[in-house]
Chain A
Amino acid sequence: MARLVLKFEGAVLKEVPLGNRPVSLGRAPDNDIQIDNLAVSTYHARVYAEAGRLVVEDLSSLNGTFVNGLRVERAMLNDGDAIEIGKHHIVVDQEHDAAVPLDSRRKISAPKINETMVLDTKERRAMFEQAAALGERSQISPTRVRVPTLVVLGGRTDRKEYQLIDTLTVIGKSEMASVKLRGWFAPNVAAQIHKQADGYYLGLGDRVPRINGDPIVGPTRLKDGDEISVGRVRLTFLYRN
C-alpha cells in the first residue's frame, strides 16, 4: 500500500497509509494529517486516488500547496514527490506497493478460463461503478497548459530548442530523429523520449543517456529541470507555461 510521510525539517512526524478514502491535510484536528501551524489552512488540501493515480488537490488554501516546488491547484503525484505545505513536507511513498509478483512459481489456483465475453459500454460502466463505489471519482481539469521542451545546453544539434509534441522523440542521427545530432560519430539513436499517460520517459538508445549525471537503467520519468546528457550533447527538460 502507498503511504504519505509527513516530515518537518527532515524528521518524520507521521505516516498515513493511502486507501480508497481521500486523505485530508490541514490545521483542524479532524484532518487525517493535522499540521498545527498558522500558515496552514483549516482544511488545506487532500490526496486521493483517481483512475489509478494519486492526485493532490488544494482546497483554496491561503498559502497554497506546492509539489516539488511548484504551486498547484491539482496535480498528479508520483512516487517520491514532495507536497509542501508551509514548512512541512509530505512525501509520497509507493515503495510499499510491491505490485509485481516476481516469484517464478507456477500460478497457483489455475484460473478458470471461461468463454470470453465483451461488455457493452453500459454494462461495463455499471459493473465498474459498482466496484469503484468505495472510491470517490471525479474529473481532473488541467488548470494550465505546460509544453514539455528540450533546451540544448551543449553539443552539435540542428536546433537550440525542441518542443516535445510527438509520442516518440528520437535523439540521434537517424532520419527518424527529431532532435538531430551532427558529427561523424553521433549514433543513429542516442536516446529516445516516450510520452506516457503520466509524463515523459527517457529511454535507452545505442548509448546510455544520463539524467543529472546518472546513467539510466531503463525508461526513467523526466522531471522539470532534469539535465539529459548523451555523448557530447546536453539538454534540459523543462515544462514551459
Chain B
Amino acid sequence: MHIESGARSDVGRVRKNNEDNFRAEPSLELFVLSDGMGGQASGEVASALAVETVVDHCRVALESDGAEYYGEPTPGLSDRTNRLASAIRVANSKIFESGLADPARKGMGATIVTCWITDRRLSLAHVGDSRAYLLRSGSFEQLTADHSLVADLVRSGILTPQQAEVSEQQSILTRALGTQPSVEVDADEQMLLAGDVVLLCSDGLSRTVTNPEIASTLETHPDPQKAADRLIELANENGGEDNVTAIVVRMTPEPTGIFAGLRRWWRGKS
C-alpha cells in the first residue's frame, strides 16, 4: 500500500494569530496536529513544541531500537502505538515545564492528534478536541473521542449531539497538554484498507463544516492536498472564526502488473 498526503493550516478570518501547528512526515508515515491555547502568543509556542517533540521522539525511537518509553505502555497495543502515546507524554512534560519556567507562558496548553502508519496499521493517539476521522467506502466515522465537557455530557446521555453542537461550553476541554504535570493519552489502532482516507483536523474545521460536507469533499478530491485546501476554504466560507488545520492521508493500492512489479523490485534494490 502506498500513502499520499496533503495538509494545510490557516489563521481563519477573525483571529490575528494561528495557534494551530502541524507536521506531516510522509517519509516516517507520521502526521501530527496540535491546537494551542494561552495568552500573549503562548498558544503558538505550546502547539509548536507539541508537534516538534512528538516528531523528534518518534524519529529517535525509529533510529534506536531500545529507546525508553515515557510512561507506562498500555498492554494490548502495539509497540508503535505505545511509542506514539509516549511521545505525547513527553510533549506534555515539555510544555508544562516551559510554562513553569516563563511567566509569560503560564497556563499555556495544547490539544494534539497524531497518526502513525506502519505497514497498513494505523496507530492513533490524542488529547483534547482535535479529531481523527476515517472515510472508508462511503462511511465517515470519527475515530477519536473528544476530551471536552460537552462530549462527556453527550456520552452520559445528558446532552444530545445536537445540543452539544450549539452549546456555549464547547471550548471547555477536560484534558490538554501542558496544563498538568502528567496527562492521560487515548491511543488506539486498526488496519487500513486500500482507498481509506484518514483526516486529522482542529476544531476550527469540525465546528464549522458538517460531517457530510467534509466526507463529500474528501470523496470528490482524490488529491489529498486539494482536499485539504478545499476543507480550509469551506471553513473560511462558513465564517472562519477559528484557526483551521487539516491533514489528509490517503491509502492507495500499489499498482499491479508486471511493470509495476519490476519498478518495486528496482526500488527495493536501490
Contact = CB atoms under 8 A, between A and B. Distances in A.
Co-complex (A, B): yes
Interface of A: 20, 49, 51-52, 99-120, 124, 127-128, 131-132, 134-135, 137, 165-168, 170, 174-176, 188-189, 192, 194-195, 203-206, 218
B191 A117 contact: no
13 contacts: A49-B156, A51-B156, A52-B156, A103-B210, A106-B238, A110-B241, A111-B170, A112-B168, A116-B173, A127-B172, A131-B153, A166-B78, A168-B189
Interface of B: 35, 37, 75-78, 81, 109, 119-121, 136-137, 139, 141, 149, 152-158, 160-162, 165-168, 170-176, 179-180, 188-191, 193-194, 207-208, 210-213, 216, 238-239, 241-242
Contacts of A127: 149, 172
Most buried by B among A110, A115, A167: A167
A206 B158 contact: no
B212 A111 contact: no
A159 B124 CA distance: 30
B191 A168 contact: yes
A144 B165 CA distance: 39
A205 B193 CA distance: 7
A131 B119 contact: no
A109 B168 CA distance: 11
Contacts of B155: 51-52
B210 A106 contact: yes
Most buried by A among B77, B157, B180, B242: B157
Contacts, number: 140
B173 A166 contact: no
B190 A192 contact: yes
The secondary-structure label for the interface of chain A is: loop
Contact of A52 (B157, B165, B171): B157
B207 A113 contact: yes
Contacts of A206: 193-194
Most buried by B among A108, A128, A175, A205: A128
B78 to A, nearest CB: 7
Contacts of A188: 120
Given A51-B155, A124-B174, A110 B190 contact: no
A114 B78 CA distance: 38
Contacts of A99: 160-161
B37 A174 contact: no
Contact of B191 (A119, A175, A192): A192
A111 B166 contact: yes
A195 B172 contact: no
Nearest to B168: A112
A116 B175 CA distance: 11
Given A101-B162, A115-B171, A124-B174, A204 B149 contact: no
B156 A119 contact: no
A99 B154 CA distance: 10
Contact of A111 (B158, B160, B167, B216): B167
Nearest to A194: B190
Nearest to B241: A113
A131 B158 contact: yes
A122 B236 CA distance: 36
Q: Which 8 A-B pairs have the closest CB atoms?
A: A52-B155, A104-B212, A116-B37, A118-B176, A116-B171, A114-B171, A166-B76, A118-B173
